[in-house]
Structure 1
Amino acid sequence: MSFKETPFYTFASPDITLVAKDQEFRVHEYVLSPQSGFFKAALQSETKEAYERCIKLPEIQPNIMTEVLNWLYRAPLTSPLDTGDTAFSTPSLGRMKEILHAHEFFQIKGATREYCKFIEDELQKLGTDPSVRHPREDGNGTFHTFHRNYTSNVVEILNEVYKSGCTINKEAIARLVATIAYDNNGPESRLSRFATTTEKLQDPNGMFFRDISLALTTLFMSR
């Protein structure tokens, strides 16, 4: 279901046009303004956009605008992450960043929590087979992991989530840390890559550092 199929959309005729890049979206002020500080300011003031009932958004990609509208209209959301061992791939990182930044740009509260849940769900799958001691990278078996090449992506995604005001639950963080700690030998290991990327973050979040540090301390003290 897309936002155009929701009761909020079919209840009344659209009265606003959004233009993301070169794609137009017909939407409703009564849906957008109460949930978005950006749209409220743009539509309820004496501006050209309010008069023309058209807002141009050249910095927003059409597919990201659709994601935002799906949330505003309460359409079912789909995870922007890939599935399985590629959940934290580079395309996943790009999509997640764009979605989080768009909700921040539009001053929409609450949406990032749902996208945070998608990340938590993927982290909760790590190490689901306790009989397997080491994470597998070939996609076989039931032990879920992520390829070590995606370790830096995990760091960036989590930091973006924390910067958006959300946090990851302790169990999901513990599973992530346990997966990283299994691969801790050499400069190309997950643990080394995780530490290096974290150190090089341009805009690190303090709570992200705290939660990861506590989980690592708990893990190593239990060994």
Structure 2
Amino acid sequence: MSFKETPFYTFAPPDITIVAKDQAFRVHDYVLSPQSEFFKTALQSETKEAYERCIKISEIQPNVMTEVLNWLYRAPLTSPLDTGDTAFSTSSVAKMKEILQAHEFLQIKGATREYCKFIEDELQKLGTDPTVRHPREDGNGTFLTFHRNYTSNIAELLNEIYRSGCTVSKEAIARLIATISYDNNGNECRLSRFATAVEKLQDPDGRFFRDISLALIALRMAR
């Protein structure tokens, strides 16, 4: 179901237009303004946008705007993350980050919690879901690999979640660190890459850094 099929949309005719890049969306002031400070300011002040009832937003791609509108109109959401062993691929994480950043740009509160749940669900699968690439011994004594690029992808995505005001559970963080640190050859190259990725974050969130540090300390103490 898209936002245009929801009761909020069909209740009354649309009265404003949003133009994201080159795509126009006909939407409702009574839905957007109460949930977004950006739209509230644009539509309820003496501006050209308020007079013309048209807001142009070049910073957000049309497909991302559709995701935002789906949340605002309470359409059922699906995870932007891929499933299985590509959940934290570069393209998958980029889609999620775009959506989170769009909600931040539009000053929409509440949406991040739902997207955080999608991330938490994928983290909880690490080391348990046989469809996910993780350090798990199979019947032949070989080990599946946790893709080396995923360490920095996950670090960036989790930091984005924390910056938005949300957190993930200590259990999910512990599972992540345990999965990354496991290496059949007895070294810690993946864990080192992850720690380096965290250190190189351009705008690290203090709570994220704290939770990761505590998980690393707990891991070392358990060994």
Matched, 1:207 2:207: yes
Alpha-carbon distance between aligned partners in 1 of 2:144 and 2:209, rounded to the nearest angstrom = 24
CA distance in 2, matches of 1:146, 1:108: 34
Q: Superposition pairs for residues 153-168 of structure 1, below 5 Å?
A: 153-168=153-168
Q: C-alpha offsets along residues 70-125 of structure 1, whole Å, 9 cap, x if unaligned? A: 00000011111111111111111211111111101110001111111110000000
C-alpha distance in structure 2 between counterparts of 1:43 and 1:137, whole Å: 58
Q: Say whether residues 1:32 and 2:2 are aligned partners.
A: no
Helix, strand or coil: the match of 1:148? Answer: coil
Deviations 1:31-51 (A, max 9, x none): 000000000000011111111
Residue 59 of structure 2 is matched in structure 1 by 59
TM-score, normalised on structure 1? 0.90
Q: Shift in Å at residue 129 of structure 1?
A: 6.5
Secondary structure class of the residue paired with 2:34: coil
Give the conservation status (yes or no) of the 8 Å contact 1:127–1:145.
Answer: no
Identify unmatched segments of 5+ residues in structure 1: none
**Pair 1:40–1:145, CA change in 2 (3 A):** farther
TM-score computed with the length of structure 2 as normaliser: 0.90
Matches within 5 A, 1:158-197: 158-183=158-183, 185=187, 189-197=189-197
The DSSP-based 3-state class of the residue aligned with 2:56 is: strand
Find the counterpart in structure 2 of residue 50 from structure 1: 50
Equivalenced residues, count: 214
Q: Distance in 1 between matches of 2:86 and 2:74?
A: 28
Superposition RMSD on alpha carbons, in Å? Answer: 2.1
- In structure 1, the residue matched to 2:152 is 152
- CA distance in 1 between partners of 2:187 and 2:76 (Å): 42
Moved runs in structure 1, 4+ residues, more than 2 A? 143-146
In the alignment, the residues of structure 2 paired with residue 101 and residue 137 of structure 1 have an alpha-carbon distance, to the nearest angstrom, of 38
- Shift of residue 222, structure 1, vs aligned partner: 2.3
Residues 120-148 of structure 1 show CA distances to partners (whole Å, capped at 9, x for unaligned) of 00000011169xxx71499xxxx997412
Cα distance in 1 for partners of 2:166, 2:205 equals: 11
* Structure 2 segments unaligned to the other structure (5+ residues): none
C-alpha contact (below 8 Å) 1:42/1:49 kept by paired residues: yes
Quick check: 2:120–2:172 contact (8 Å CA) kept in 1? Answer: yes
Say if 2:127 and 2:136, in contact at 8 Å, map to a contact too.
no
Aligned residue type for 1:161:
I
* Equivalent residues of 1:127, 1:144 under 8 A apart: no
Amino acid across the alignment from 1:33 = S
Give the conservation status (yes or no) of the 8 Å contact 2:19–2:57. Answer: yes
Alpha-carbon distance in 2 for matches of 1:2, 1:167: 28
Decide whether the 8 Å contact of 2:123 with 2:172 is kept in 1.
yes
Shift of 1:52: 0.5
Counterpart residue identity of residue 4, structure 2: K
**Which residue is equivalent to 1:6?**
6
Partner of 2:221: 221
Deviation at 1:220, TM superposition (A): 2.3
SS in 1 for 2:149: helix
